[in-house]
Amino acid sequence: MKYPILIASVLSSGLVAAQSPAVTPEPTPAPAATNPSAALPAVTIVGEREGLPRIAGSAHVIDEADLKRFGYDDINRVLNAVPGVYVREEDGFGLRPNIGLRGGSSDRSQKVTLLEDGVLFGPAPYSAPAAYFFPLTSRMIGVEVFKGPAAISQGPQTIGGAINLLSAPIPETTSGMFEAAVGSDAFRRVHARSGGQFGGFGLQVEAAHVANDGFKSLDGGGDTGFEKNEAVVKVAHLIGPGRLELQLAYSDEVSDETYLGLTEADFRRDPTRRYLASALDQFDWDHNTQRLDWQQPLLGGNFVATAYSHQFDRAWRKFNNIGAGTIREVLANPDTPSNRLFYNVLTGQADSDPNFEGDDLRIGTNDRQFRSSGVQARQNWAFSGRGEHRLEVGTRLHNDRVQRLHDEFAFEVADGQLVRNALPGTITADNTGRTVALAAWVRDEATFGKWTIAPGVRVEQIWTEFSDRRANLIRDDHYAVLLPGLGINYALTEQFNLLAGVHRGFSPATVGPSENLEPEKAINYEAGGRLWTSVGAFEAIGFYNDYSNLTAACTFSSGCAELDTQTNAGKAEIFGIETGYQHVLPLPFGLLMPVALTYTYTSAEFREAFVSADPQFGAVDAGFELPYIPEHRANLRVGMEGARWSTSASVTYQSRMRDVAGSGAIPGDTGSDAFTVVDLSGRWDLQSAWALTARVDNLLDREYVVSRRPFGARPGRPVAAQVGVEYVF
């Protein structure tokens, strides 16, 4: 382990590594000397939407027009339109999303490869993949989601697939935009971007600010909202036949967020209430990115190398527990004599007993520092011979680490205020996890008449090291994985394509104190078809994931006490079907009615018994259903468009999800609620440059439990409205 760690330590001191696209169009021709920004399009995985039919696998693109239709700041609401994607809301704003693909765990999006312009952006994608950082959705011009064999070129998480966010590239001509919006709960957003060509250089500057005072009401008063800022500078220049682009980005956030929810009775009375015990809770972070891209024609193809480095520092002060009780037990059964005492202190209805430590409120700060860097290159060719080929080979050396320092102090309630008492604080975690990963892959898309065959293979060598300073423990590991895959597309007719695929899914083992750690592995299958007719485009894809070892990492967000440990759940199977339909219906008077409908059915079960300290599992029997995977999920989007105006509605339905593994009916006071949420948006183009926008989220003001993890029932966002103005030049 020492040698790879030494290499990575040197690399992490400067700009390093990159994640490249999985599927690319034909090689970009040599760039024109006068147009550095046009020489390289934005790095994408899937490419333009019209390229989707030939993809030998499941892929979806949400383009700029789709994103503008609703103007969401919340990635969860954006992804509602994509089949095979599950989101578990938490704060109502999508600040720290929980995203799963095809039954993979959604907890902190740990089982999804997350990228921006083809580069991994997670704080520590190998050592600590929990996505406590997520870029501003309103800054993006596209979102790509792909699953199945197309995930072979991506990593480290290939168990379900990948999500690639697309930022705005440097424009070919001087242009820009400005938008501002205000709304419910003192919502405000300002976003500006400008760039162009200046004496052979390309330059773009972008800044965004989003804030909200929060929709929850804290006992005794106080803030429950957030402020988030991002700034990005891109500079490009031609050097000979190549193009060099430097990107510098900074973002920060302060959010008065908590993990503490409500009892069932309190939720049904007032779902937006927050208990006094969470009054001090606050999440504070800042994030820096440096990225350098180089592209040039090479060996008859196109060569791309990228270097990147991320630094993410965060501190989350939050309520952890109550002295002599277990907070989940108190919230589940608040009316027992002892729990009633704790509940009254928790809510500020009674002061703490200064002579009894059992009703102390435990509040601590989870302080973590993340570093992520590496080096990557890829080479693409498009050539003809026996068939038409688009071949890619690539490699990446990646290094990341997480350093944790968690503390906890005792607080009392005195006269309705939280006051720290005289008891000494404790350090609850002091450790570092590090990973060096060397990956290489090759993938070819070969078309022979009606057949497109896409074989690929990915190899990962992973070195990990975990040191726990409290336990005086150092543990390291090394393992290698071979991840083959094959996708097939057959054009039965020009309007009807069949597809099938198989690949080996993989998720790295947790970097933590557990012994005998094994990575998550599965053999994943898919099959389906796409049909284009005069009345719309149809898609149906079935998937089956056969796990030989399903794993779960213990996180605070899942309610675990032993953080960074791993559960090996053994065999499991997840299967389902993803369906979609879209059409633009022409109407009289030059009107258009776009319609899009998606539906996902999922069945997810453990195939063997085990006992886990992870409270989402507990004692599991074969046949138990996995938690937080909805059986049914659907989204309908329908709009009306005129020459200078448009209006759209989004209707999302999701069935109940289990809070803990089990079988049979889900008890009424556990798990999430089934819900149907309607969002409505509108846009009016005043002239070529100006537009007015409006949106109402949760139009019917539905109240529903989105999660009971880690502590108590938490709500989806209630009805919220906003209006805005846009200017494009």
Planar angle of CA 240, 241, 245, nearest 5 degrees:
85
- DSSP tag of 348: T
pLDDT exceeds 90 at position 729: yes
Type of residue numbered 231? A
665-695 confidence digits (pLDDT tens): 998 889 999 999 999 999 999 988 999 999 9
Gap between the Cα atoms of 477 and 188, Å rounded: 47
Strand runs labelled E in 148-186: 161-167, 175-183
What is the DSSP code string of 552-620?
A: EE--GGGT-SSTT-EEEEEEEEEEEEEEEEEEEEE-GGG-EEEEEEEEEEEEEEESS-EE-SSTTTSEE
Residue 666, helix vs strand vs coil: coil
- Report the pLDDT averaged over residues 688-703: 96
Structure tokens at 472: 């005086």
Question: Which class in CATH covers the domain with range 2-728?
Answer: mainly beta
589: Cβ contacts below 8 Å, ≥ 6 apart: none
Which residues are bridge partners to 131 per DSSP? none
Cβ 582 vs Cβ 520: under 8 Å: no
Strand runs labelled E in 78-133: 85-87, 99-101, 113-116, 119-120
pLDDT exceeds 60 at position 403: yes
Q: What is the dihedral of CA 695, 699, 704, 710, to 10 degrees?
A: 10
333-365 confidence digits (pLDDT tens): 999 998 999 999 999 999 999 889 899 999 999
- Report the pLDDT averaged over residues 443-451: 94
The per-residue pLDDT of the chain, averaged, comes to 90
- Report the pLDDT averaged over residues 643-664: 96
Gap between the Cα atoms of 468 and 458, Å rounded: 32
Q: Is the dihedral of CA 197, 198, 203, 208 positive or negative?
A: negative
Cβ 599 vs Cβ 563: under 8 Å: no
- Cα 665 to its chain centre, rounded Å, is 30
Gap between the Cα atoms of 58 and 56, Å rounded: 7
Cβ 510 vs Cβ 518: under 8 Å: no
Which residues are bridge partners to 459 per DSSP? 440, 482
553-603 confidence digits (pLDDT tens): 888 888 777 777 888 999 999 999 999 999 999 999 999 999 999 999 999
Gap between the Cα atoms of 642 and 382, Å rounded: 41
Cβ 18 vs Cβ 119: under 8 Å: yes
Which residues are bridge partners to 10 per DSSP? none
DSSP run (H or E) holding 6: helix 2-11
Residues of the chain with pLDDT > 90, as a percent, come to: 82
Gap between the Cα atoms of 500 and 543, Å rounded: 10
Gap between the Cα atoms of 602 and 160, Å rounded: 13
Structure tokens at 638: 């329908």
- Report the pLDDT averaged over residues 459-487: 95
Produce one character per residue of 24-50: b if its CB has 16 or more CB atoms within 10 Å, e if not: bbebbeebeeebbbbbbeebbbbbebe
Look at residues 256, 378, 251, 365 and name the one whose alpha carbon lies nearest to residue 306.
378
The most confident of 3-7, 635-639, 669-673, by mean pLDDT: 635-639
pLDDT exceeds 90 at position 118: yes
238-293 confidence digits (pLDDT tens): 998 999 999 999 999 999 999 999 999 999 999 999 999 999 999 999 999 999 99
720's torsion region: left (phi>0), alpha (psi -120 to 50) or beta? beta
Structure tokens at 530: 């796409």
pLDDT at position 24 is 32
pLDDT at position 10 is 30
Look at residues 618, 634, 518 and name the one whose alpha carbon lies nearest to residue 581.
634
Q: Please report where in the chains the tokens 């138990």 appear, as a residue.
A: 624
Cβ 368 vs Cβ 402: under 8 Å: yes
**How confident is residue 32, by pLDDT bands cut at 50, 70 and 90?**
very low
- DSSP tag of 521: E
- Report the pLDDT averaged over residues 197-202: 89
- Cα 313 to its chain centre, rounded Å, is 19
pLDDT exceeds 60 at position 552: yes
**How confident is residue 154, by pLDDT bands cut at 50, 70 and 90?**
confident
Q: Counting every residue, how long is the chain? A: 729
- DSSP tag of 332: H
Structure tokens at 231: 């700034």
Phi/psi at 241 (nearest 5 deg)? -85, 0
- Cα 553 to its chain centre, rounded Å, is 16
CA count, 13 A, side-chain hemisphere, 315: 8
Look at residues 687, 660, 684 and name the one whose alpha carbon lies nearest to residue 672.
660
Count CB atoms within 10 A of the CB of residue 701: 12
pLDDT exceeds 80 at position 385: yes
Per 3-state DSSP, what percentage of the chain is helix, strand, and coil (rounded to 5)?
Answer: 10, 55, 35
Q: Is the dihedral of CA 134, 137, 139, 145 positive or negative?
A: positive
Q: Is 395 exposed, middle or buried (0-12, 13-18, 19+ CB in 10 A)?
A: middle
DSSP run (H or E) holding 251: strand 242-255
pLDDT exceeds 50 at position 190: yes
Gap between the Cα atoms of 439 and 576, Å rounded: 30
DSSP run (H or E) holding 409: strand 387-414
Residue 701, helix vs strand vs coil: coil
> 321 or 554: whose pLDDT is higher?
321
55-112 confidence digits (pLDDT tens): 677 889 999 999 999 999 999 999 999 999 999 999 999 999 999 999 999 999 999 9
123-145 confidence digits (pLDDT tens): 999 999 999 999 999 999 999 99
Strand pairing report for 417-420 and 426-448: unpaired
Cβ 649 vs Cβ 638: under 8 Å: yes
Residues of the chain with pLDDT > 70, as a percent, come to: 92
Q: Is the dihedral of CA 508, 510, 511, 514 positive or negative?
A: negative
Planar angle of CA 458, 453, 581, nearest 5 degrees:
100
Structure tokens at 695: 């949106």
**How confident is residue 513, by pLDDT bands cut at 50, 70 and 90?**
confident
Strand runs labelled E in 632-697: 632-641, 645-654, 675-685, 690-697
Residue 148, helix vs strand vs coil: helix
What is the DSSP code string of 32-49?
A: PTT-TTTTSPPP-SS-SG
pLDDT exceeds 50 at position 29: no
Type of residue numbered 169? P
pLDDT at position 621 is 96
pLDDT at position 25 is 31
- DSSP tag of 425: P
- Predicted structure pTM score: 0.92
